[in-house]
Each structure stands twice: as C-alpha cells, then as structure tokens.
C-alpha cells in the first residue's frame, strides 16, 4: 500500500517552534495611545498557535498540498509601543477595542495533480512554494474583531518548498515529487489583508451556547488580491470568547487567541462555516508577475465550506477543521479538500 506523506509536519513544526521565542517579545503600554483599554491584571498572557494544513488526511497529494504556520499573538493590550502608532492610523478600528500584535512565520506548497510526472501538462496547476512572514494588528471588543496584516515573503525556489517536500517524502519512503523543475520563478511577495468579524449570541445559558460570526474582508498584493465574505456558526459547552479556530489565509478568519471562562476552564464546540471569494489575482495560478512562467486560467469565484471541532482545556485549545474548496482553475477536474489542525496555548 502506498504510504501517504506526513508532509513537512515534523520538519516545519521544528523550524517554527525554534522561531517562537524570538516572536514573543512584548513592549510596555503607551499611555498616549487613544482610548485603548488597559489590560486586566493577571487576566491573560500571549498565545502561541501552531497550524498544519494538509491533504494527507484524505489520501490526496495535489494542488494546495501543505501549509504550516506559527503565530504569536500578544496579550490583550500587551503590545510594543510602535504598534500603537500603527493603531492611530487605522480609522476603522473600534475606539473601545483592545489591541493585540501578531507575528507569524509560515510556508505553503502547491503541486500538480500527479507528483510522479516530471513535466506536468500545461493545463495543470503549477508547482510553487511560498515562504512568508507577517506582522499585524488585532482590535477586538468582544463582539467585533478587526484584523490588519502585512505579509512579506518569496515565491519560487527560494521558498525552500522543494527540498522540504522531497526530504519528508524520502524520510517516510513516499513517492518523490518529480515536477519541481517546472515551479514558478523566484519573486518577492507582498500581501496586505484586512478582515472584520462580528460575534452574535443566538443561545446562551449556564452551559450550552450557540453563536454566529459573519465576516467581510479582502487582500491586495502581487501574490493574491481578492474580496471575501462568509458566515460561521458555533455550538458547544462553555463557548470561549474567541472568533473561531486559527487558519492560514485565505480562509474563514479565526483568532490566534482565546479566552476560556475562568469558572469553567474546560469546554468544547463544533462549528460550520462557508465563505466566498472574488479573486482578481492568485500568483499560484496566474504565474509570475514580471516573468514568463507556467500558469492556468483562474476561476474568479471560489468557495470554501468548513466544519470541525475545538476543545479547550485550561490554557490549551486544539482544533480540527475539514475544508472543502471549489475548483480554482478552469481545467481542474473537481474541487479539493484538506484538513487543518491548530494547537494554541497561552504562555
């Protein structure tokens, strides 16, 4: 029986864990920041989230085949001084909101439909890697969350996606991916992303609760440009005050932090969500911006359905998400699906 790759879970998680301490520095509060609330003493620390998205969960190895990311989110209002200068320039942040800074490092991999072919058909998705780092701001007031994030990185061989995938496939005796010689060329990437989410309680009580979270947002940059909107529902026991599971963009927005009920530190919830994107640019389908490269005809409308479960135990949250994604290019035979695991804990 063919062994499916454990795709760079081991390699990438080790890399990302090694970077976490450097991302975790926090600065003193700046009293000059306008109407930004002060933290409650001892109420919260920063959070570290490790995310693995992979199609191995469903015995598939194609298209968006792997994504890993480590995210450090500072404590509520525990942000470096320079982030407050950014906050003063963001007019759509809620003036009664709490401010957090976000730092992230990640890598995405994209392959053709059959990794055993050295020269995939021109109608198939190009091979590509995306190594990226992000800085961002979150402004939230319990019922609304705004996220603004700047991502910089590199597409192409410099992303190290090829050696990472080949190393893991060799390590677990899985078929060697043959098409990396056809991957996109090196290109620096920039994406500016904004998302707004709302949370509305539908059913509350002593234990069981239901809420819903609509969102709107978009991104602009040479790697991706799109506008999106969607809705997620949660139902569970002692719902934490967060905005859903953390994910790698583009996806339904979640939060890299959570606030468990101090009186009930153990809880769970199931969730279901849907979102749609109007895509004006996707370098992983459209090809390089300034050089000739492989490309396919991108579909303008792309939809995601997701469902999963989250478990909170004191300072730890573990989530699993099953994602169905519609066809992204015209010659794609069917939609894709993959799984996403995220582990978040407060430090």
Q: How far apart are CA 169 and CA 330, in angstroms?
A: 29
Q: How far apart are CA 117 and CA 161, in angstroms?
A: 17
Q: Is residue 12's pLDDT more than 90? A: no
Q: How many residues belong to the chain?
A: 347
Rounded mean pLDDT, 332-339: 94
For the ranges 9-13, 155-159, 175-179, 235-239, the maximum mean pLDDT occurs at 155-159
168 and 5 Cβ atoms separated by less than 8 Å? yes
Is pTM beyond 0.75? Reply is: yes
Q: What is the pLDDT of residue 44?
A: 62
Q: Is residue 82's pLDDT more than 80? A: no
Q: Is residue 339's pLDDT more than 70? A: yes
Q: What is the pLDDT of residue 7?
A: 36
Q: What is the pLDDT of residue 43?
A: 53
Domain definitions of the chain by residue range: 9-21+45-346
- What are 115-170's pLDDT values in tens digits? 999 999 999 999 999 999 999 999 998 889 999 999 999 999 999 999 999 988 88
Q: Is residue 245's pLDDT more than 60? A: yes
183 and 129 Cβ atoms separated by less than 8 Å? yes
Q: How far apart are CA 10 and CA 167, in angstroms?
A: 11
279 and 226 Cβ atoms separated by less than 8 Å? yes
Contacts of 285 (CB under 8 A, 6+ apart): 125, 126, 295, 296, 298, 328, 329
122 and 112 Cβ atoms separated by less than 8 Å? no
Q: Which CATH architecture has domain 9-21+45-346?
A: Beta Barrel (2.40)
Contacts of 42 (CB under 8 A, 6+ apart): none
Q: Is residue 215's pLDDT more than 70? A: yes
Q: How far apart are CA 152 and CA 195, in angstroms?
A: 18
Q: What is the pLDDT of residue 22?
A: 35
| The token pair that represents 86 in the structure block | 């950014």
Q: How far apart are CA 8 and CA 130, in angstroms?
A: 14
347 and 24 Cβ atoms separated by less than 8 Å? yes
Mean per-residue pLDDT over the chain, rounded: 85
Kindly state the percentage of the chain with pLDDT values over 90: 62
Q: Is residue 211's pLDDT more than 60? A: yes
Q: Is residue 309's pLDDT more than 90? A: yes
Q: How far apart are CA 295 and CA 184, in angstroms?
A: 9
Q: What is the pLDDT of residue 210?
A: 95
- What are 22-79's pLDDT values in tens digits? 333 333 434 433 344 433 434 567 999 999 999 877 777 899 999 999 999 999 888 8
Q: Look at 104-108, 145-149, 169-173, 325-329 and tell me which has the smallest mean pLDDT.
A: 169-173
DSSP string, 34-78: TTPPPPPTTS---EEEEEEEEGGGGT--SEEEEEEEEEEEPPTT-
301 and 249 Cβ atoms separated by less than 8 Å? no
Q: How far is CA 317 from CA 21, 148, 198, 341, in A?
A: 20, 23, 21, 11
330 and 123 Cβ atoms separated by less than 8 Å? no
More confident residue, 115 or 81: 115
């Amino acid at each position: 029986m063919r062994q499916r790759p454990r795709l760079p879970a081991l390699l990438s998680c080790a890399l990302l864990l090694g970077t976490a301490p450097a991302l975790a520095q926090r600065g003193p509060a700046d009293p000059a920041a306008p109407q930004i609330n002060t933290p409650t003493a001892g109420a919260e620390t920063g959070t570290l989230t490790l995310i693995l998205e992979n199609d191995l969960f469903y015995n598939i190895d194609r298209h968006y085949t792997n994504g890993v990311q480590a995210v450090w989110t500072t404590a509520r209002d525990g942000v470096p001084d320079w982030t407050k200068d950014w906050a003063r320039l963001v007019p759509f942040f809620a003036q009664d909101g709490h401010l957090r800074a976000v730092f992230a490092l990640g890598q995405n991999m994209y392959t053709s439909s059959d990794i055993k072919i050295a020269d995939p058909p021109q109608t198939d998705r190009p091979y590509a890697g995306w190594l990226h780092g992000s800085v961002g701001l979150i402004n939230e007031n319990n019922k609304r969350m705004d996220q603004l994030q700047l991502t910089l990185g590199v597409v192409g061989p410099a992303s190290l996606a090829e050696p990472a995938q080949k190393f893991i496939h060799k390590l677990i005796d899985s078929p060697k991916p043959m098409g990396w010689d056809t991957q996109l060329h090196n290109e620096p990437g920039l994406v500016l992303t904004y998302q707004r989410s709302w949370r509305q309680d539908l059913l509350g009580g002593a234990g069981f609760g239901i809420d819903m979270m609509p969102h709107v947002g978009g991104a602009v940059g040479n790697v991706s440009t799109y506008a999106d909107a969607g809705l997620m529902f949660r139902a569970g026991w002692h719902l934490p005050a967060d905005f859903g599971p953390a994910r790698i963009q583009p996806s339904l927005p979640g939060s890299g932090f959570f606030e468990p009920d101090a009186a009930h530190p153990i809880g769970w919830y199931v969730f279901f969500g849907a979102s749609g994107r109007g895509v004006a640019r996707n370098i992983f389908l459209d090809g390089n911006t300034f050089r000739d490269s492989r490309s396919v005809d991108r579909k303008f409308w792309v939809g995601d359905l997701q469902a999963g479960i989250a478990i909170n135990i004191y300072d730890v949250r573990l989530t699993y998400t099953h994602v169905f994604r519609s066809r992204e290019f015209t010659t794609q035979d069917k939609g894709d699906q993959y799984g996403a695991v995220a582990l978040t804990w407060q430090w």
